């Protein structure tokens, strides 16, 4: 469904952020994009969704195909209309609007009123807590409820592909598991997901395939189960040791084993 071919991105035409990244998201699949802060994950998401110009960045090499057609020359509205929605890191809700108003903004570019009504019903079914708090202002919701609202708003566009940028950030472990279940349910309904996460354990438990980025490059690309099972990968690239405890990825970068993987 989504194919990135040798994508390179610079900020302000000077600072290289991504250096020739290629990846694929098959139809109706969940793919995890992992790596430490500054690896280039969010830049990749911005490139896909057309948000690079807002951040004074641009694609200087490569192409992005969606359903076989180039989208790297389209603006954000055109990309959404093609079937891609993004949940930004930090949720970016309209805090002074109600839950109901926030959700409905997700369909603002839709020309299909009946489709928007079906999408709204789907969101209310997927997030019953939001259904109970329709008239509450978004700014008064808990962090987990705000993340649900951000996902629900993105689903209002009836996307074929949902981009999720750090959905577990700042959430309690119990809420992280709930977000994982929501991603699994979205996947089961037939929507493909590209999931950017630092929580590798959660991401790979719901994804079929994973890419690991480091300093603007893809350094590993393997099925999710293989990434989780390889102890060297777990320790030096995912920041996980036996038992699942996390390590400091920035520190681990200085002590990598010799690479034996093929990307």
Per-residue model confidence as pLDDT tens digits over 210-238:
999 989 999 999 999 998 887 777 776 66
DSSP string spanning 7-58? Answer: EEEEETTTEEEEEEEEEEE-TT-EEEEE--TTSSHHHHHHHHHT-GGGGTEE
Most confident segment among 44-53, 147-156, 221-230: 44-53
Question: Which residues face 30 on adjacent strands?
Answer: 193
Query: Which one-letter DSSP state was computed for residue 110?
Result: -
Per-residue model confidence as pLDDT tens digits over 81-133:
899 999 988 778 888 899 999 888 887 767 777 878 888 898 998 888 898 88
């Amino acid at each position: 469904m989504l194919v990135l071919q040798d994508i390179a991105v610079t900020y302000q035409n000077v600072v290289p952020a991504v250096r020739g990244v290629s990846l694929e998201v098959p139809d109706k699949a969940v793919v995890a994009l992992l790596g430490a802060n500054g690896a280039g994950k969010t830049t990749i998401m911005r490139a896909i969704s057309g948000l690079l110009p807002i951040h004074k960045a641009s694609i200087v090499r490569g192409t992005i195909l969606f359903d076989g057609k180039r989208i790297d020359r389209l603006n954000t509205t055109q990309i959404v209309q093609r079937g891609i929605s993004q949940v930004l890191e930090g949720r970016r809700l309209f805090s002074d609007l109600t839950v109901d108003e926030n959700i409905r903004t997700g369909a603002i570019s839709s020309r299909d009123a009946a489709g928007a009504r079906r999408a709204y019903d789907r969101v209310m079914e997927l997030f019953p807590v939001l259904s109970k708090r329709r008239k509450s202002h978004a700014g008064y919701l808990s962090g987990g409820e705000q993340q649900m609202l951000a996902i629900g708003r993105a689903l209002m566009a009836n996307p074929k592909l949902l981009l999720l940028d750090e959905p577990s950030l700042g959430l309690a472990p119990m809420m992280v598991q709930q977000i994982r279940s929501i991603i699994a349910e979205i996947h089961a309904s037939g929507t493909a997901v590209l999931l950017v996460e630092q929580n590798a354990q959660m991401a790979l438990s719901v994804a079929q395939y994973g890419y690991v980025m480091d300093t603007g490059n893809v350094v590993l690309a393997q099925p999710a189960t293989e990434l989780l099972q390889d102890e060297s990968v777990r320790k030096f690239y995912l920041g996980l040791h036996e038992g699942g405890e996390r390590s400091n990825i920035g520190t681990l970068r200085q002590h990598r084993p010799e690479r034996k993987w093929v990307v």
